[in-house]
Amino acid sequence: MFEKTYDVVVAGAGVAGIAAALECARAGLRTALVEKTVLLGGLATTGLVNIYLPLCDGYGHQAIFGIAEELLHLSLRYGPGNVPEAWLREKCQEPVTGPRYMTAFSPASFVLALDEALLDAGVTIWLDTLVSEPAMAPGRRIVGLEVENKSGRGVLRASIVIDATGDADVAYRAGAPCIEADNWLSLWALETSLAHARAVAESPGRASLLEEVRVGGDANGRNHPISQPKVHGTKGAEVTYFVLEGRRLLREMYRARQAELGPDGRHQRFPVTLPAMAQFRTTRRIDGMETMTTDHPNTALPTSVGLVPDWRRPGPIWEVPFGALVPRGVRGLLAAGRCFSADGEAWEVSRVIPPAALTGQVAGITATLSVQRGVTPEHLDAVEVQQVLQGKGMPFHTSAIMQSEVAGNKG
Ligand SMILES: Cc1cc2nc3c(=O)[nH]c(=O)nc-3n(C[C@H](O)[C@H](O)[C@H](O)COP(=O)(O)OP(=O)(O)OC[C@H]3O[C@@H](n4cnc5c(N)ncnc54)[C@H](O)[C@@H]3O)c2cc1C
Protein backbone atom coordinates (compact mmCIF):
# COMPACT_ATOMS: atom_id res chain seq x y z
CA MET A 1 0.00 0.00 0.00
CA PHE A 2 1.14 3.53 -0.72
CA GLU A 3 -0.53 6.60 0.70
CA LYS A 4 -0.49 10.29 -0.33
CA THR A 5 -2.41 13.29 0.93
CA TYR A 6 -3.83 16.17 -1.13
CA ASP A 7 -6.41 18.90 -0.68
CA VAL A 8 -8.39 17.68 -3.69
CA VAL A 9 -8.31 14.47 -5.70
CA VAL A 10 -10.05 14.39 -9.07
CA ALA A 11 -11.09 10.99 -10.49
CA GLY A 12 -10.92 10.93 -14.29
CA ALA A 13 -8.99 13.21 -16.66
CA GLY A 14 -11.62 13.97 -19.30
CA VAL A 15 -12.23 17.66 -20.01
CA ALA A 16 -14.32 17.92 -16.81
CA GLY A 17 -11.60 16.47 -14.58
CA ILE A 18 -8.95 18.57 -16.30
CA ALA A 19 -10.90 21.81 -15.80
CA ALA A 20 -11.51 20.91 -12.13
CA ALA A 21 -7.84 20.11 -11.51
CA LEU A 22 -6.61 23.27 -13.28
CA GLU A 23 -8.97 25.44 -11.21
CA CYS A 24 -7.92 23.87 -7.88
CA ALA A 25 -4.18 23.88 -8.59
CA ARG A 26 -4.22 27.48 -9.81
CA ALA A 27 -5.98 28.44 -6.57
CA GLY A 28 -3.01 26.98 -4.70
CA LEU A 29 -4.51 23.66 -3.59
CA ARG A 30 -2.51 20.44 -3.56
CA THR A 31 -4.32 18.71 -6.42
CA ALA A 32 -4.09 15.18 -7.82
CA LEU A 33 -5.70 14.05 -11.09
CA VAL A 34 -6.12 10.29 -11.52
CA GLU A 35 -6.58 8.73 -14.95
CA LYS A 36 -6.83 5.04 -15.86
CA THR A 37 -5.49 5.49 -19.42
CA VAL A 38 -2.20 7.17 -20.33
CA LEU A 39 -3.83 10.05 -22.22
CA LEU A 40 -5.48 13.17 -20.85
CA GLY A 41 -8.78 14.34 -22.37
CA GLY A 42 -11.14 11.35 -22.04
CA LEU A 43 -13.71 11.03 -24.82
CA ALA A 44 -12.42 14.22 -26.46
CA THR A 45 -9.01 12.61 -27.13
CA THR A 46 -8.85 8.91 -26.22
CA GLY A 47 -12.44 8.61 -27.49
CA LEU A 48 -11.67 10.50 -30.77
CA VAL A 49 -14.61 12.90 -30.31
CA ASN A 50 -12.87 15.82 -31.97
CA ILE A 51 -15.51 18.53 -32.32
CA TYR A 52 -15.44 21.24 -29.66
CA LEU A 53 -19.12 22.24 -29.77
CA PRO A 54 -20.19 25.90 -29.43
CA LEU A 55 -19.51 28.20 -26.51
CA CYS A 56 -22.18 30.57 -27.87
CA ASP A 57 -25.96 30.52 -28.18
CA GLY A 58 -26.15 30.73 -31.99
CA TYR A 59 -27.31 34.37 -31.85
CA GLY A 60 -23.86 35.79 -31.28
CA HIS A 61 -23.76 35.73 -27.47
CA GLN A 62 -20.96 33.83 -25.79
CA ALA A 63 -22.48 31.77 -22.97
CA ILE A 64 -19.52 29.68 -21.74
CA PHE A 65 -16.30 31.35 -20.61
CA GLY A 66 -13.37 30.46 -18.36
CA ILE A 67 -11.39 27.22 -18.63
CA ALA A 68 -13.85 25.82 -21.21
CA GLU A 69 -12.82 28.63 -23.56
CA GLU A 70 -9.14 28.19 -22.69
CA LEU A 71 -9.35 24.46 -23.53
CA LEU A 72 -10.96 25.20 -26.91
CA HIS A 73 -7.93 27.30 -27.82
CA LEU A 74 -5.51 24.72 -26.36
CA SER A 75 -7.05 22.04 -28.61
CA LEU A 76 -5.56 23.94 -31.58
CA ARG A 77 -2.12 24.80 -30.17
CA TYR A 78 -0.27 21.85 -31.74
CA GLY A 79 -2.55 20.96 -34.62
CA PRO A 80 -5.07 21.96 -37.27
CA GLY A 81 -8.44 23.69 -36.88
CA ASN A 82 -9.59 27.28 -36.64
CA VAL A 83 -11.67 29.46 -34.37
CA PRO A 84 -14.05 31.56 -36.49
CA GLU A 85 -12.36 34.94 -37.02
CA ALA A 86 -15.14 37.02 -35.45
CA TRP A 87 -14.68 35.29 -32.08
CA LEU A 88 -10.99 36.18 -31.96
CA ARG A 89 -11.68 39.91 -31.80
CA GLU A 90 -11.60 41.85 -28.58
CA LYS A 91 -14.71 41.00 -26.54
CA CYS A 92 -17.41 43.68 -26.71
CA GLN A 93 -21.06 43.98 -25.76
CA GLU A 94 -22.31 43.58 -29.35
CA PRO A 95 -23.38 40.10 -30.51
CA VAL A 96 -20.89 38.45 -32.88
CA THR A 97 -21.97 37.86 -36.47
CA GLY A 98 -20.91 34.75 -38.35
CA PRO A 99 -20.38 31.06 -37.57
CA ARG A 100 -20.76 29.68 -34.04
CA TYR A 101 -17.83 29.70 -31.59
CA MET A 102 -16.63 26.12 -32.07
CA THR A 103 -13.90 24.12 -33.79
CA ALA A 104 -12.74 20.68 -34.85
CA PHE A 105 -9.32 19.62 -33.55
CA SER A 106 -6.79 16.81 -33.65
CA PRO A 107 -7.11 14.61 -30.53
CA ALA A 108 -3.36 13.89 -30.33
CA SER A 109 -2.53 17.61 -30.60
CA PHE A 110 -4.99 18.35 -27.78
CA VAL A 111 -3.28 15.76 -25.52
CA LEU A 112 0.11 17.48 -25.94
CA ALA A 113 -1.35 20.84 -24.93
CA LEU A 114 -3.26 19.34 -21.98
CA ASP A 115 -0.10 17.72 -20.56
CA GLU A 116 1.59 21.10 -20.72
CA ALA A 117 -1.25 23.08 -19.12
CA LEU A 118 -1.68 20.69 -16.19
CA LEU A 119 2.03 20.45 -15.47
CA ASP A 120 2.37 24.24 -15.66
CA ALA A 121 -0.46 24.58 -13.15
CA GLY A 122 1.28 22.20 -10.72
CA VAL A 123 -1.29 19.39 -10.85
CA THR A 124 0.06 15.99 -9.75
CA ILE A 125 -0.96 13.65 -12.56
CA TRP A 126 -1.42 9.93 -11.90
CA LEU A 127 -1.62 8.17 -15.29
CA ASP A 128 -2.30 4.47 -15.77
CA THR A 129 -3.93 4.54 -12.35
CA LEU A 130 -7.35 3.05 -11.78
CA VAL A 131 -9.66 4.46 -9.12
CA SER A 132 -11.23 1.43 -7.50
CA GLU A 133 -13.15 2.28 -4.32
CA PRO A 134 -13.86 5.47 -2.41
CA ALA A 135 -12.16 5.67 1.00
CA MET A 136 -14.96 6.39 3.47
CA ALA A 137 -15.06 7.68 7.05
CA PRO A 138 -18.05 7.48 9.41
CA GLY A 139 -21.01 9.73 8.55
CA ARG A 140 -20.82 8.86 4.82
CA ARG A 141 -17.85 11.21 4.45
CA ILE A 142 -15.55 10.48 1.52
CA VAL A 143 -11.91 11.03 2.52
CA GLY A 144 -10.04 9.85 -0.57
CA LEU A 145 -9.78 7.23 -3.26
CA GLU A 146 -8.33 3.75 -3.33
CA VAL A 147 -6.30 3.35 -6.50
CA GLU A 148 -4.27 0.69 -8.26
CA ASN A 149 -1.31 1.01 -10.63
CA LYS A 150 2.09 -0.54 -11.37
CA SER A 151 3.21 0.16 -7.79
CA GLY A 152 0.30 -1.85 -6.41
CA ARG A 153 -2.63 -0.58 -4.34
CA GLY A 154 -2.70 2.75 -2.62
CA VAL A 155 -4.91 5.44 -1.19
CA LEU A 156 -4.94 9.10 -2.19
CA ARG A 157 -6.41 11.05 0.71
CA ALA A 158 -8.16 14.39 0.20
CA SER A 159 -10.47 16.87 1.88
CA ILE A 160 -12.63 16.97 -1.25
CA VAL A 161 -13.03 14.40 -4.04
CA ILE A 162 -14.38 15.26 -7.50
CA ASP A 163 -15.99 12.47 -9.52
CA ALA A 164 -15.24 13.21 -13.18
CA THR A 165 -15.24 9.58 -14.31
CA GLY A 166 -18.05 10.26 -16.78
CA ASP A 167 -19.90 7.31 -15.23
CA ALA A 168 -20.38 8.55 -11.62
CA ASP A 169 -18.36 5.49 -10.55
CA VAL A 170 -17.10 7.14 -7.37
CA ALA A 171 -20.49 8.56 -6.35
CA TYR A 172 -22.23 5.24 -7.02
CA ARG A 173 -19.72 3.21 -5.04
CA ALA A 174 -19.86 5.75 -2.21
CA GLY A 175 -23.62 5.13 -1.99
CA ALA A 176 -24.99 8.30 -3.63
CA PRO A 177 -28.27 7.85 -5.53
CA CYS A 178 -27.61 7.67 -9.27
CA ILE A 179 -29.60 7.30 -12.50
CA GLU A 180 -28.66 5.01 -15.39
CA ALA A 181 -29.31 5.67 -19.07
CA ASP A 182 -28.62 3.65 -22.20
CA ASN A 183 -26.75 4.04 -25.47
CA TRP A 184 -27.26 3.29 -29.12
CA LEU A 185 -24.58 1.07 -30.55
CA SER A 186 -22.09 3.30 -32.36
CA LEU A 187 -18.42 3.83 -33.11
CA TRP A 188 -16.40 6.81 -34.33
CA ALA A 189 -12.91 6.24 -35.73
CA LEU A 190 -10.41 8.05 -37.94
CA GLU A 191 -9.46 6.76 -41.37
CA THR A 192 -7.43 7.79 -44.37
CA SER A 193 -8.08 7.23 -48.03
CA LEU A 194 -6.30 7.98 -51.29
CA ALA A 195 -9.32 9.97 -52.47
CA HIS A 196 -9.26 12.17 -49.37
CA ALA A 197 -5.46 12.60 -49.54
CA ARG A 198 -5.80 13.75 -53.15
CA ALA A 199 -8.55 16.21 -52.21
CA VAL A 200 -6.36 17.63 -49.42
CA ALA A 201 -3.37 17.94 -51.76
CA GLU A 202 -5.50 19.80 -54.28
CA SER A 203 -6.97 22.23 -51.73
CA PRO A 204 -4.36 22.74 -49.00
CA GLY A 205 -6.75 24.89 -46.94
CA ARG A 206 -8.57 21.74 -45.77
CA ALA A 207 -8.08 21.19 -42.07
CA SER A 208 -7.25 17.53 -41.69
CA LEU A 209 -5.47 14.73 -43.48
CA LEU A 210 -7.66 12.23 -41.65
CA GLU A 211 -11.37 11.66 -42.06
CA GLU A 212 -13.95 10.69 -39.48
CA VAL A 213 -15.70 7.40 -40.02
CA ARG A 214 -18.92 6.69 -38.10
CA VAL A 215 -20.91 3.47 -37.86
CA GLY A 216 -24.02 2.61 -35.84
CA GLY A 217 -26.51 4.99 -34.26
CA ASP A 218 -26.14 8.75 -33.99
CA ALA A 219 -27.25 10.73 -30.91
CA ASN A 220 -30.89 10.14 -31.91
CA GLY A 221 -30.45 6.46 -32.72
CA ARG A 222 -30.60 6.88 -36.50
CA ASN A 223 -28.69 3.95 -38.15
CA HIS A 224 -28.70 1.90 -34.94
CA PRO A 225 -28.77 -1.78 -36.05
CA ILE A 226 -32.37 -2.84 -35.37
CA SER A 227 -31.51 -6.28 -33.99
CA GLN A 228 -29.07 -4.91 -31.37
CA PRO A 229 -30.08 -3.93 -27.84
CA LYS A 230 -29.25 -0.55 -26.33
CA VAL A 231 -26.46 -0.73 -23.74
CA HIS A 232 -26.18 0.90 -20.30
CA GLY A 233 -22.40 0.57 -20.01
CA THR A 234 -22.30 0.20 -16.24
CA LYS A 235 -21.33 -3.50 -16.27
CA GLY A 236 -17.98 -4.86 -17.43
CA ALA A 237 -19.55 -7.31 -19.88
CA GLU A 238 -21.67 -4.55 -21.43
CA VAL A 239 -18.61 -2.40 -22.08
CA THR A 240 -16.84 -5.30 -23.83
CA TYR A 241 -19.95 -6.08 -25.89
CA PHE A 242 -20.42 -2.44 -26.95
CA VAL A 243 -16.79 -2.05 -28.05
CA LEU A 244 -16.55 -5.39 -29.90
CA GLU A 245 -19.90 -4.90 -31.66
CA GLY A 246 -18.87 -1.40 -32.76
CA ARG A 247 -15.68 -2.81 -34.26
CA ARG A 248 -17.68 -5.60 -35.95
CA LEU A 249 -19.84 -2.92 -37.63
CA LEU A 250 -16.67 -1.18 -38.78
CA ARG A 251 -15.34 -4.46 -40.28
CA GLU A 252 -18.63 -4.87 -42.12
CA MET A 253 -18.29 -1.37 -43.55
CA TYR A 254 -14.71 -1.99 -44.74
CA ARG A 255 -15.67 -5.34 -46.27
CA ALA A 256 -18.37 -3.56 -48.27
CA ARG A 257 -15.92 -0.81 -49.31
CA GLN A 258 -13.31 -3.36 -50.36
CA ALA A 259 -15.91 -5.17 -52.42
CA GLU A 260 -16.59 -1.87 -54.22
CA LEU A 261 -12.93 -0.93 -54.69
CA GLY A 262 -11.66 -4.38 -55.64
CA PRO A 263 -8.58 -6.28 -54.38
CA ASP A 264 -6.60 -3.05 -54.04
CA GLY A 265 -9.26 -1.55 -51.74
CA ARG A 266 -7.45 -2.20 -48.46
CA HIS A 267 -4.55 -0.02 -49.64
CA GLN A 268 -6.84 2.79 -50.69
CA ARG A 269 -9.03 3.24 -47.63
CA PHE A 270 -8.33 1.98 -44.10
CA PRO A 271 -8.73 2.91 -40.42
CA VAL A 272 -5.82 4.77 -38.82
CA THR A 273 -6.97 5.18 -35.23
CA LEU A 274 -9.62 3.43 -33.15
CA PRO A 275 -11.01 4.86 -29.91
CA ALA A 276 -9.13 3.52 -26.89
CA MET A 277 -12.11 3.98 -24.58
CA ALA A 278 -15.75 2.95 -24.94
CA GLN A 279 -17.70 5.74 -26.64
CA PHE A 280 -20.73 5.87 -24.36
CA ARG A 281 -22.67 9.10 -24.51
CA THR A 282 -24.13 8.44 -21.08
CA THR A 283 -23.99 5.60 -18.61
CA ARG A 284 -24.77 6.78 -15.08
CA ARG A 285 -25.10 10.20 -13.48
CA ILE A 286 -25.75 11.43 -9.98
CA ASP A 287 -29.28 12.20 -8.83
CA GLY A 288 -28.03 15.38 -7.20
CA MET A 289 -29.31 17.84 -4.61
CA GLU A 290 -30.75 19.72 -7.62
CA THR A 291 -31.20 18.65 -11.26
CA MET A 292 -30.87 20.68 -14.45
CA THR A 293 -34.18 19.82 -16.08
CA THR A 294 -35.76 19.99 -19.49
CA ASP A 295 -38.52 22.22 -18.13
CA HIS A 296 -36.26 25.22 -17.56
CA PRO A 297 -34.53 26.56 -20.70
CA ASN A 298 -34.26 30.37 -20.65
CA THR A 299 -35.30 30.42 -17.01
CA ALA A 300 -33.42 32.30 -14.30
CA LEU A 301 -32.50 29.95 -11.46
CA PRO A 302 -31.43 31.59 -8.17
CA THR A 303 -28.74 28.94 -7.62
CA SER A 304 -27.32 29.09 -11.16
CA VAL A 305 -23.55 28.62 -11.50
CA GLY A 306 -23.24 28.58 -15.28
CA LEU A 307 -24.87 28.72 -18.69
CA VAL A 308 -25.30 25.94 -21.23
CA PRO A 309 -26.34 26.84 -24.79
CA ASP A 310 -28.04 24.37 -27.10
CA TRP A 311 -25.42 22.91 -29.45
CA ARG A 312 -28.13 21.60 -31.80
CA ARG A 313 -29.92 24.87 -32.62
CA PRO A 314 -29.63 28.61 -31.94
CA GLY A 315 -31.56 30.05 -29.02
CA PRO A 316 -32.17 28.14 -25.82
CA ILE A 317 -29.81 28.53 -22.88
CA TRP A 318 -30.06 26.55 -19.66
CA GLU A 319 -28.83 27.73 -16.27
CA VAL A 320 -26.98 25.08 -14.24
CA PRO A 321 -28.22 24.83 -10.64
CA PHE A 322 -25.40 24.55 -8.09
CA GLY A 323 -26.92 21.44 -6.47
CA ALA A 324 -26.60 19.53 -9.79
CA LEU A 325 -22.92 19.06 -8.91
CA VAL A 326 -23.56 17.93 -5.34
CA PRO A 327 -24.48 14.28 -4.80
CA ARG A 328 -27.03 13.39 -2.13
CA GLY A 329 -26.10 11.09 0.70
CA VAL A 330 -22.29 11.46 0.56
CA ARG A 331 -20.30 14.30 2.12
CA GLY A 332 -17.09 15.73 0.65
CA LEU A 333 -17.89 14.72 -2.95
CA LEU A 334 -18.71 16.67 -6.13
CA ALA A 335 -19.61 15.43 -9.63
CA ALA A 336 -18.68 17.13 -12.90
CA GLY A 337 -18.93 16.51 -16.63
CA ARG A 338 -21.32 14.04 -18.21
CA CYS A 339 -22.16 12.53 -14.79
CA PHE A 340 -23.59 15.66 -13.13
CA SER A 341 -27.33 15.83 -12.46
CA ALA A 342 -29.29 16.70 -15.62
CA ASP A 343 -32.18 15.03 -17.40
CA GLY A 344 -33.98 14.86 -20.77
CA GLU A 345 -33.17 17.69 -23.19
CA ALA A 346 -31.19 19.47 -20.49
CA TRP A 347 -28.94 16.43 -20.31
CA GLU A 348 -28.67 16.23 -24.12
CA VAL A 349 -27.31 19.79 -24.31
CA SER A 350 -25.01 19.45 -21.30
CA ARG A 351 -23.37 16.08 -22.02
CA VAL A 352 -20.88 17.61 -24.50
CA ILE A 353 -17.36 19.04 -24.20
CA PRO A 354 -17.96 22.74 -23.30
CA PRO A 355 -20.47 22.11 -20.48
CA ALA A 356 -18.26 19.27 -19.20
CA ALA A 357 -15.37 21.74 -18.89
CA LEU A 358 -17.67 24.38 -17.37
CA THR A 359 -19.04 22.06 -14.67
CA GLY A 360 -15.48 20.85 -14.05
CA GLN A 361 -14.31 24.39 -13.36
CA VAL A 362 -17.33 25.09 -11.12
CA ALA A 363 -16.59 21.88 -9.20
CA GLY A 364 -13.00 23.13 -8.82
CA ILE A 365 -14.20 26.51 -7.50
CA THR A 366 -16.55 24.75 -5.07
CA ALA A 367 -13.82 22.39 -3.89
CA THR A 368 -11.49 25.35 -3.35
CA LEU A 369 -14.08 27.21 -1.27
CA SER A 370 -14.78 24.04 0.72
CA VAL A 371 -11.11 23.52 1.53
CA GLN A 372 -10.58 27.19 2.40
CA ARG A 373 -13.62 27.23 4.73
CA GLY A 374 -13.08 23.71 6.13
CA VAL A 375 -16.60 22.58 5.17
CA THR A 376 -18.10 20.03 2.79
CA PRO A 377 -19.80 21.33 -0.40
CA GLU A 378 -23.40 20.91 0.78
CA HIS A 379 -22.69 23.55 3.45
CA LEU A 380 -21.77 26.17 0.85
CA ASP A 381 -24.30 28.61 -0.53
CA ALA A 382 -24.55 29.00 -4.32
CA VAL A 383 -24.07 32.74 -3.75
CA GLU A 384 -20.48 32.10 -2.58
CA VAL A 385 -19.71 30.25 -5.83
CA GLN A 386 -21.46 32.96 -7.85
CA GLN A 387 -19.22 35.60 -6.25
CA VAL A 388 -16.10 33.75 -7.45
CA LEU A 389 -17.60 33.31 -10.93
CA GLN A 390 -18.37 37.02 -11.08
CA GLY A 391 -14.76 37.80 -10.19
CA LYS A 392 -13.62 35.62 -13.09
CA GLY A 393 -16.04 37.25 -15.57
CA MET A 394 -18.05 34.06 -15.97
CA PRO A 395 -21.79 34.80 -16.37
CA PHE A 396 -24.32 32.52 -14.67
CA HIS A 397 -27.61 34.20 -15.61
CA THR A 398 -28.88 34.43 -19.18
CA SER A 399 -29.80 38.07 -18.63
CA ALA A 400 -26.09 38.91 -18.24
CA ILE A 401 -25.26 37.96 -21.83
CA MET A 402 -28.38 39.34 -23.51
CA GLN A 403 -27.64 43.04 -23.14
CA SER A 404 -27.82 43.74 -26.86
CA GLU A 405 -29.97 41.35 -28.82
CA VAL A 406 -29.79 41.53 -32.65
CA ALA A 407 -32.63 39.69 -34.30
CA GLY A 408 -31.58 37.37 -37.11
CA ASN A 409 -27.90 37.38 -36.18
CA LYS A 410 -26.49 33.96 -37.00
CA GLY A 411 -23.31 33.89 -34.91
C1 LIG B 1 -20.00 8.96 -30.03
C2 LIG B 1 -19.93 10.27 -29.30
C3 LIG B 1 -19.93 11.46 -30.00
C4 LIG B 1 -19.84 12.68 -29.34
N5 LIG B 1 -19.77 13.83 -30.08
C6 LIG B 1 -19.47 14.99 -29.47
C7 LIG B 1 -19.14 16.14 -30.24
O8 LIG B 1 -19.15 16.12 -31.48
N9 LIG B 1 -18.80 17.28 -29.57
C10 LIG B 1 -18.83 17.36 -28.20
O11 LIG B 1 -18.54 18.44 -27.66
N12 LIG B 1 -19.12 16.28 -27.47
C13 LIG B 1 -19.42 15.10 -28.06
N14 LIG B 1 -19.65 13.97 -27.32
C15 LIG B 1 -19.68 14.08 -25.86
C16 LIG B 1 -18.35 14.42 -25.22
O17 LIG B 1 -17.30 13.78 -25.86
C18 LIG B 1 -18.32 14.01 -23.76
O19 LIG B 1 -19.53 14.15 -23.15
C20 LIG B 1 -17.31 14.81 -22.96
O21 LIG B 1 -16.07 14.71 -23.60
C22 LIG B 1 -17.35 14.24 -21.57
O23 LIG B 1 -16.26 14.68 -20.82
P24 LIG B 1 -16.11 14.15 -19.32
O25 LIG B 1 -14.84 14.73 -18.83
O26 LIG B 1 -17.35 14.41 -18.55
O27 LIG B 1 -16.02 12.56 -19.40
P28 LIG B 1 -15.03 11.60 -20.20
O29 LIG B 1 -14.50 12.24 -21.39
O30 LIG B 1 -15.75 10.32 -20.31
O31 LIG B 1 -13.81 11.44 -19.19
C32 LIG B 1 -13.80 10.55 -18.11
C33 LIG B 1 -12.36 10.16 -17.82
O34 LIG B 1 -12.33 9.39 -16.62
C35 LIG B 1 -11.49 8.27 -16.80
N36 LIG B 1 -11.96 7.25 -15.85
C37 LIG B 1 -13.18 6.65 -15.83
N38 LIG B 1 -13.23 5.78 -14.81
C39 LIG B 1 -12.03 5.84 -14.18
C40 LIG B 1 -11.48 5.15 -13.05
N41 LIG B 1 -12.17 4.24 -12.37
N42 LIG B 1 -10.22 5.45 -12.70
C43 LIG B 1 -9.48 6.37 -13.38
N44 LIG B 1 -9.95 7.03 -14.46
C45 LIG B 1 -11.22 6.77 -14.84
C46 LIG B 1 -11.70 7.90 -18.25
O47 LIG B 1 -10.61 7.12 -18.75
C48 LIG B 1 -11.76 9.28 -18.91
O49 LIG B 1 -10.50 9.77 -19.27
C50 LIG B 1 -19.76 12.72 -27.93
C51 LIG B 1 -19.73 11.53 -27.21
C52 LIG B 1 -19.81 10.32 -27.88
C53 LIG B 1 -19.76 9.05 -27.09
Tell me, using a 6 A CB cutoff, whether residue 284 lines ligand 1. no
Residue 364 in any domain: the answer is yes
Residue 410 in any domain: the answer is no
How close is the Cα of 14 to the center of ligand 1, in Å?
6
- What pLDDT, on a 0 to 100 scale, did the predictor assign at position 316? 94
Smallest CA separation from ligand 1 atom 45, residue: 12
Residue 157 in any domain: the answer is yes
Q: Are residues 250 and 364 in the same domain?
A: no
Residue 72 in any domain: the answer is yes
The domain of 332 spans 2-180+283-401
How close is the Cα of 48 to the center of ligand 1, in Å?
10
CA distance 133 to 170: 7
CA distance 200 to 197: 5
- What pLDDT, on a 0 to 100 scale, did the predictor assign at position 409? 41
Tell me, using a 6 A CB cutoff, whether residue 173 lines ligand 1. no
Chain centroid to CA 142: how far?
Answer: 23
Nearest to 228 by CA among 214, 203, 245: 245
Q: Are residues 42 and 158 in the same domain?
A: yes
CA distance 194 to 269: 7
Q: Are 16 and 364 in contact (CB under 8 A)?
A: no
Query: Mean pLDDT in each 10-residue stretch from start to end of the chain (411 residues)?
Result: 97 98 98 98 97 96 97 96 88 82 96 98 98 98 98 98 98 98 91 86 74 87 80 94 95 92 87 96 96 89 97 96 98 98 95 98 98 97 98 96 51 42
Q: Which of 222, 249, 273 finishes a domain?
A: 273
Chain centroid to CA 69: how far?
Answer: 13
Q: Are residues 201 and 309 in the same domain?
A: no
Tell me, using a 6 A CB cutoff, whether residue 305 lines ligand 1. no
Domain count, the chain: 2
State whether residue 62 is helix, strand or coil.
strand
110-127 pLDDT, tens digit each: 999 999 999 999 999 999
Q: What is the pTM of this model?
A: 0.96
How close is the Cα of 68 to the center of ligand 1, in Å?
14
Q: Are residues 36 and 157 in the same domain?
A: yes
325-353 pLDDT, tens digit each: 999 999 999 999 999 999 999 999 999 99
Q: Which of 273, 291, 322 finishes a domain?
A: 273
Q: Are residues 252 and 321 in the same domain?
A: no
Q: Which of 242, 273, 304 finishes a domain?
A: 273
Angle at 120 between CA 118 and CA 123, to 5 degrees: 45
- What pLDDT, on a 0 to 100 scale, did the predictor assign at position 263? 79
- What pLDDT, on a 0 to 100 scale, did the predictor assign at position 92? 66
Smallest CA separation from ligand 1 atom 4, residue: 49
Smallest CA separation from ligand 1 atom 35, residue: 12
Q: Are residues 175 and 215 in the same domain?
A: no
CA distance 248 to 242: 10
Q: Are residues 263 and 291 in the same domain?
A: no
163: left (phi over 0), alpha (psi -120 to 50) or beta: beta
